[in-house]
Structure 1
């Protein structure tokens, strides 16, 4: 990451004032975001257990979950509207 930051600095200096405007600000911001992402990944890697579960053997199939064809209990949805469609008792403008 340090090499990337140094390279962006060098390219920005070589490009001159006419090119070192908004475009390089975006590249610099993207570089900083990338640096933060790498730091987060490193932190997450150190928080993981020391003995991760072994990888699945090649060709292993994931466990299947059966989803029933019976309709859901409608009483579960009495307190919600149809998302994106509005309420049943009101009209769209």
Structure 2
């Protein structure tokens, strides 16, 4: 976010703060006004975090995947001795 955008955001939050203060003067300290005050405080906190972050996102370092070599040779038939084929109904004995 550029400094112009951050300044505009902070100015707009200030305007919201003034509007909510006017609502508080008119309606008092009702729950809806307290929630709005809380929301503005959260917006102010979140907008202040932008000034500490870089303007462009930092790319992540690519993770090297471990390569697993699968041989092309056939498996030992003894490995499958006594196993049933799923979905076929098993071997007939």
TM-score range, shorter chain: 0.3 to 0.5
Q: Which has the higher contact order (CA 8 A, sep 6+)?
A: 2
Q: Which has the higher helix share?
A: 2
- TM-score (structure 2 length as normaliser): 0.38
Provide the TM-score with structure 1 as the length reference.
Answer: 0.38
